[in-house]
Amino acid sequence: MTLVLILVAVAIAVGLYFVLAKKSAPELEEADETATKKRTAPPLPPRRPGEVPPPPKPGEALKSVPPPAAAGAAKAEPARKRTTKRDVAGIRKGLATARGGFIARLSALFTGKKEIDPEILEQIEEVLLTSDVGVKTTGAIIERLRDALSKNELSDSDAVWNALRAEATRILEGSSQDAGGLHVDKKPTVVLMVGVNGVGKTTTIGKLATKLKADKKNVMLAAGDTFRAAAVQQLEVWGERTGASVVRGKDGADPGAVAFDATTKAAADATCDVLLVDTAGRLHTKAPLMDEIKKVRKSIDKALAGAPHETLLVLDATTGQNALNQAALFKDALDLTGIVLTKLDGTAKGGIVLAIADALQIPVRYVGLGERAEDLREFYADEFVEALFTREEAEPAAIKSPEDIRAEA
């Protein structure tokens, strides 16, 4: 009997336990949900672009919030700093022939004139056209001068002269944002030199090697002009002068193979900073020859992805408008990164610099102003314009700085 009573009591206790547990389950779930809500912060409202997220409230956990996206897809590269000192006097000396021709003729138009009349624009136009400035560029310059004259902004000869300087600065700076010599920012930096026969490619390579060596750069030369034995020999002479190693092939070897071999060696040489690749002179009007230079470029890219890093077109300033035609056709065939304008000291015209910069928007990187290696000058628009347009009869105080000219333009 006693055992029966004990079993009944246990059964009643178990029954009461399940009844109470079932009754309290919703309350426990509700309490757990409340606690979860308390631990979870409400979603943040969407932020506007650039808005800084509000600081967390006391007791709230800090959340990892990604920073707002910066404007623009990529960070802009800093502007390149000038690596050479200004030498207006030296450039002016190298431009003596152009100053005695082109600039002297312009200056003569203003001699003895206190007032300016519209007829002078026709005379200026004639001088510009006969100085290789070109029809398109000359037309743009004259149109801007005519507009300024109609607004009575050109009251005397000094005002017109400064306006001409401003136009030259505007044209050259517009195309030369990336000017000022080679960009040796990769190791090795591969530079492909192209141009027609007789413009001075091989000599320019030798001068560049000399300048680079002076800047403590290790240089390698590629004798890619395999059709002219003299070019290979000339490059080897420059190699001996500068201490640069020269990669050459057999006479008549495939230029692309030489370029590929040289690029491979430069990439494998941890000490090589710059590889300068010479190429055979080619007529820009001959499609097969232009196709060949494209193959050379592809061979270089196969040897080192992304190369050549620079493709410089060498032009002879004494050829005038023909140089402009060459540049236009080479630009269509290759991705040119700059112009080297040689023999600028040997022309009385000199306006071809403006024509190329304005028509093609290819930066002029170097100008040749003499036979010496140091006469290959890095090109800077303000320095060049100041050297070219300074008049002999002008007093230093009357000559405006490039900054003043740009402010007035």
What pLDDT score was predicted for residue 115?
A: 75
Three-state DSSP class for residue 268 = helix
Residues 6 or more apart whose CB falls under 8 angstroms from that of 317 comprise: 323, 341, 342, 343, 344, 346, 347, 350, 352, 353, 367, 368
- Asked if 365 contacts 339 with a C-beta cutoff of 8 angstroms, the reply is yes
CA angle 286, 290, 291 (to 5 degrees): 115
Taking all residues of the chain, what is their mean pLDDT, rounded to a whole number? 80
What's at 152, amino acid-wise? Answer: N
Phi, psi of 376 (to 5 degrees): -85, 105
The separation between the first and the last C-alpha atoms of the chain, rounded to the nearest angstrom, is: 120
Rounded Cα distance, 41 and 57, in Å:
10
Give 27-64 as a DSSP string: HHHHHHHHHHHHHSPPPPPPPPTTPPPPPPPTTPPPP-
- CA 342 to centroid of chain Cα atoms: 20
Residue with tokens 């030296």: 90
Write out pLDDT tens, residues 171-203. Answer: 998 765 666 889 899 999 999 999 998 899 999
Give 321-348 as a DSSP string: HHHHHHHHHHHHHS---EEEEE-GGG-S
Q: Which of 267, 283, 187, 186 is nearest to 222 (CA)?
A: 267
Beta bridge partners of 338: 312
- Per-residue pLDDT tens listing for the chain (409 residues): 565 566 556 566 655 555 455 444 444 444 445 444 444 444 444 444 444 444 444 444 333 333 444 433 334 344 445 556 678 999 999 999 999 999 999 999 988 776 788 889 999 999 999 999 999 999 999 999 999 999 989 888 899 999 999 999 999 987 656 668 898 999 999 999 999 988 999 999 999 999 999 999 999 999 999 888 888 999 999 999 999 999 999 888 899 999 999 999 999 999 999 999 999 886 655 667 788 889 999 999 999 999 999 999 999 999 999 999 989 989 998 999 999 999 999 999 889 999 999 998 899 999 999 999 999 999 999 999 999 998 765 433 334 444 554 554 4
- Asked if 328 contacts 360 with a C-beta cutoff of 8 angstroms, the reply is yes
pTM of the full structure: 0.75
What's at 243, amino acid-wise? Answer: G
Three-state DSSP class for residue 384 = helix
Residue 361, by phi and psi: left (phi above 0), alpha (psi -120 to 50) or beta? left
Rg (CA), the chain: 36
What pLDDT score was predicted for residue 397?
A: 34
Three-state DSSP class for residue 12 = helix
What pLDDT score was predicted for residue 183?
A: 85
- Asked if 331 contacts 356 with a C-beta cutoff of 8 angstroms, the reply is no
Structure-block tokens of residue 90: 């030296």
